[in-house]
């Protein structure tokens, strides 16, 4: 029996081969809850281990189970981002903190201690300076108004127009990751500064409202 070329059969065979190739491609790694291994969707919860300071991906069930008790091991990291539109630090106040770059985030722990951290090619660096005086200023007022340990005040002074946000801790470490992975040479290179600008554009677009601060 003679073989005959049929364009329709060839087209069908090509579609089938294309489908097989799609199935043969490596599939994206499925994220799982780090506490119970349940599959996670893209917008899952993040928890902070209060002892190790590590951030864990978690399902809604584990979030309710492990974060609903006082003094528990984990704290839920909120998702909200808020602008601080009327907040500012003077150049003198900023210089007194001796931070090497004009970009830092500030945290208050459960005991009231204030920390200032900044992103670097080596990761997040703790300034290791005494910030107790900040407790009596405008920054102290803001830090008392947010959730300790899991929210931070992120101050961006690298642009002409300074910007300040109350932001989840995991977003701070997303910024740290950008700097750590994209920094090149002594000045960082254009790629990292473009990525930092993109980060703040994203944060600004996602911000919902402004934080109301009651001054002490």
128 pLDDT tier (thresholds 50, 70, 90): confident
**Residue 65, SS3 per DSSP:** helix
What's the pLDDT at 216? Answer: 55
What's the pLDDT at 48? Answer: 94
Nearest-CA neighbor of 183 among 194, 174, 172, 173?
194
- So where are the chain's domains? 31-76, 82-206
Per-residue pLDDT tens over the stretch 16-30: 545 445 444 554 578
What's the pLDDT at 23? Answer: 44
Per-residue pLDDT tens over the stretch 133-163: 676 678 888 998 899 999 999 999 998 888 9
Per-residue pLDDT tens over the stretch 184-202: 998 899 999 999 999 999 9
Rounded Cα distance, 4 and 78, in Å: 65
What's the pLDDT at 4? Answer: 44
Nearest-CA neighbor of 81 among 173, 169, 160, 148?
169
Tell how far CA 110 is from the center of its chain. Answer: 20
Nearest-CA neighbor of 128 among 136, 143, 117?
117
213 pLDDT tier (thresholds 50, 70, 90): low
Q: What is the mean pLDDT of residues 75-103?
A: 88
What's the pLDDT at 146? Answer: 92
DSSP tag of 136: G
What's the pLDDT at 119? Answer: 95
Q: Max Cα separation, the chain?
A: 95
68 pLDDT tier (thresholds 50, 70, 90): low
What's the pLDDT at 159? Answer: 82
Q: Is the pLDDT of residue 66 over 70?
A: yes
Using CA atoms, how far residue 184 sits from 4, 121, 170, 189, 192, in Å, is: 60, 9, 24, 5, 8
Taking the CA atoms of 189, 195, 196 and 201 in sequence, report the sign of the dihedral they define.
Answer: positive
Contact of 45 with 59, CB cutoff 8 Å:
yes
Contact of 139 with 106, CB cutoff 8 Å:
yes
Q: What is the mean pLDDT of residues 164-173?
A: 95
Mean of the per-residue pLDDT values of the chain: 83
What's the pLDDT at 85? Answer: 80
DSSP tag of 63: H
Residue whose token pair is 């703040």 = 200
Nearest-CA neighbor of 213 among 88, 90, 119, 128?
88
Rounded Cα distance, 146 and 107, in Å: 9
Nearest-CA neighbor of 154 among 213, 216, 203, 206?
203
What's the pLDDT at 96? Answer: 83
Tell me the percentage of the chain whose pLDDT exceeds 90: 50
């Amino acid at each position: 029996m003679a073989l005959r070329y049929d364009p329709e059969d060839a087209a069908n065979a090509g579609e089938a081969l294309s489908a097989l190739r799609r199935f043969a491609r490596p599939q994206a790694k499925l994220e799982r809850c780090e506490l119970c291994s349940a599959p996670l969707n893209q917008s899952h919860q993040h928890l902070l281990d209060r002892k190790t300071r590590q951030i864990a991906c978690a399902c809604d069930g584990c979030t309710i189970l492990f974060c609903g008790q006082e003094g528990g091991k984990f704290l839920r990291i909120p998702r909200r981002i808020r602008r601080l539109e009327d907040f500012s630090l003077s150049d003198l106040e900023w210089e007194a903190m001796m931070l090497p770059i004009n970009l830092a985030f500030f945290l208050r722990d459960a005991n009231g201690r204030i920390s200032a951290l900044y992103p670097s090619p080596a990761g997040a660096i703790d300034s290791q300076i005494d910030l107790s005086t900040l407790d009596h200023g405008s920054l102290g007022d803001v830090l008392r108004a947010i959730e300790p340990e899991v929210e931070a005040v992120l101050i961006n002074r690298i642009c002409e127009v300074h910007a300040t946000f109350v932001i989840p801790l995991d977003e701070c470490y997303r910024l740290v990751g950008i700097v750590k992975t994209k920094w090149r040479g002594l000045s960082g290179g254009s790629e990292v500064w473009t990525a930092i600008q993109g980060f703040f554009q994203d944060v600004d677009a996602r911000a919902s409202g402004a934080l109301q601060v009651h001054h002490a």
